């Protein structure tokens, strides 16, 4: 039985992971849970899974949770803040950590887990975008296994099975994108898009942040940077292909002209379970893919003019250093502002470009540099938004 700790347990990835645990209760034991501030959901999870340690990033929420579970006589221990998240990520009882905590909040816990020798199943692309070189160095130094959960990265990981040390044989990686809810909407209409419209993803059920990133296609841009670090691939060999059916999750084209693709239904439980059981594959309750029902698969190029976040991401990847940190961190702020109706949909790329233009890039950043740039980018984005409104 594998003992696992889950960061971001109250989000969509965390809940799906716990669904996998329920399906294979003889395979997994949950020993640690961590979340941001959702007291209600975490309390329910504690009472069901009885972990040894839990944490909430929000100290006030952690105090509330302690009161809620007083009847459990102090078990589990409830910690708070970044230190609490890192404690869950490094707890001795866990052999694998599932990192479903999005954004920059997951950076320190992820690095702590790697340095503690924990195998990592992760969906937090922002960690690789912000600190890909540091993560890769820590993975190599500690000899742990890092397995992506995100659909596109998991697909490439699976297509590269048995050939990860042969990057020279790869002609290119093809990261598929659904195109989001506005694939067929004229660019002029995007200026009047509401948060409610942007949250209507045609294929996937995800959290609000990633759903808005999908609508702007920033999600694909961040995945390009993530793939560069995760698979040690030159940026020029990474392309985005719009595939509205979301059946082909991504592809690898080899130098001999062969292309391998990973296909499946739009259900994250498949990728989560594969990351938790790797290299084994177990049955899932997910409905099987019926290609006879699908009939046709369509592919088209990504529209960089209509979705300028794509160009911003490629620029950040080309420049490197701390510029990807600026892009990722500022994006957290502008997406929140859009969801709160403080800015318009097309203000998102405009503000991101402005923050990037103001930044003096550090070519080879330390962890301290990355954390400081993270703070600077968020503060600068908030200042621009304030002046705009």
Provide the pLDDT for residue 162.
77
Domain count, the chain: 3
Among residues 144, 173, 204, the one where a domain terminates is: 144
Among residues 309, 344, 364, the one where a domain terminates is: 309
Residue 7 shares a structural domain with residue 103: yes
Residue 87 shares a structural domain with residue 165: no
Structure tokens at 77: 């221990």
The DSSP secondary structure of 272-283, one letter per residue, reads HHHHHHTT----
Provide the pLDDT for residue 77.
95
Provide the pLDDT for residue 21.
97
Residue 130 shares a structural domain with residue 213: no
CB 349 within 8 A of CB 309: yes
pLDDT digit string (tens) for the chain, length 389 residues: 999 999 999 999 999 999 999 999 999 999 999 999 999 999 999 999 999 999 999 999 999 999 999 999 878 999 999 999 999 999 999 999 999 988 888 999 999 999 999 999 998 899 999 999 999 999 999 999 999 999 999 999 999 987 777 788 999 999 999 999 999 999 999 999 999 999 998 887 788 999 999 999 999 999 999 999 999 999 999 999 999 999 999 999 999 999 999 999 989 999 999 999 999 999 999 999 998 887 899 999 999 999 999 999 999 999 999 999 999 999 999 999 999 999 999 999 999 999 999 999 999 999 999 999 999 999 999 999 999 87
CB 335 within 8 A of CB 348: yes
Residue 173 shares a structural domain with residue 305: yes
CA–CA distances in Å: residue 79 to residues 45, 66, 105: 16, 9, 16
pTM of the model: 0.94
Query: Is the dihedral angle over the CA atoms 290, 294, 300, 303 positive or is it negative?
Result: negative
Question: Does 42 fall in a domain?
Answer: yes
CB 317 within 8 A of CB 235: yes
Q: What is the number of residues in the chain?
A: 389
Domain coverage including residue 42: 2-144
Question: Does 272 fall in a domain?
Answer: no
Q: How far apart are CA 5 and CA 20, in angstroms?
A: 14
Residue 234 shares a structural domain with residue 302: yes
Provide the pLDDT for residue 76.
95
Provide the pLDDT for residue 198.
96
Residue 19 shares a structural domain with residue 54: yes
Provide the pLDDT for residue 203.
81
Compute the radius of gyration of the chain from its Cα atoms.
Answer: 20
What CATH number is attached to the domain comprising 32? 3.40.50.720
Residue 71 shares a structural domain with residue 17: yes
Question: Does 315 fall in a domain?
Answer: no
Provide the pLDDT for residue 9.
97
């Amino acid at each position: 039985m594998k003992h696992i700790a889950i960061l971001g347990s109250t989000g969509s990835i965390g809940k799906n992971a716990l669904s996998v645990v329920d399906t294979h209760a003889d395979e997994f034991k949950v020993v640690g849970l961590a979340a941001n501030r959702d007291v209600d959901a975490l309390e329910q999870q504690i009472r069901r899974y009885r972990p040894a340690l839990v944490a909430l990033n929000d100290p006030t929420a952690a105090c509330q949770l302690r009161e809620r579970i007083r009847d459990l006589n102090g078990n589990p221990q409830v910690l708070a803040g970044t230190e609490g998240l890192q404690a869950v990520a490094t707890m001795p009882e866990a052999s694998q950590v599932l990192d479903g905590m999005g954004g920059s909040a997951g950076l320190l816990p992820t690095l702590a887990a790697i340095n503690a020798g924990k195998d990592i199943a992760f969906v937090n692309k922002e960690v690789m975008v912000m600190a890909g070189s540091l993560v890769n160095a820590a993975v190599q130094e500690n000899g742990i296994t890092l397995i992506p959960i995100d659909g596109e990265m998991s697909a490439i990981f699976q297509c590269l099975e048995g050939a990860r040390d042969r990057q020279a044989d790869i002609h290119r990686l093809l990261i598929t994108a659904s195109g989001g809810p506005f694939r067929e909407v004229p660019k002029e209409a995007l200026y009047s898009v509401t948060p409610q419209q942007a949250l209507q993803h045609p294929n996937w059920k995800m959290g609000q942040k990633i759903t808005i990133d999908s609508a702007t296609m920033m999600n694909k841009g961040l995945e390009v940077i993530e793939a560069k670090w995760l698979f040690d691939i030159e940026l020029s060999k990474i392309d985005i292909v719009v595939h509205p059916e979301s059946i082909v999750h991504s592809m690898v084209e080899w130098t001999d002209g062969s292309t391998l693709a990973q296909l499946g239904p739009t259900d994250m439980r498949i990728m989560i379970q594969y990351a938790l059981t790797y290299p084994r594959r177990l049955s899932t309750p997910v409905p099987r893919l019926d290609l006879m029902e699908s009939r046709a698969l369509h592919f088209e190029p990504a529209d960089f003019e209509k979705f300028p976040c794509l160009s911003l991401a490629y620029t950040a990847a080309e420049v490197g250093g701390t510029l990807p940190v600026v892009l990722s961190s500022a994006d957290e702020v502008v997406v929140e502002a859009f969801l709160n109706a403080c800015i318009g949909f097309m203000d998102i790329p405009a503000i991101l470009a402005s923050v990037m233009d103001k930044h003096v890039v550090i070519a080879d950043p330390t962890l301290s540099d990355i954390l400081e740039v993270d703070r600077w980018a968020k503060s600068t984005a908030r200042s621009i938004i304030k002046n705009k409104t």
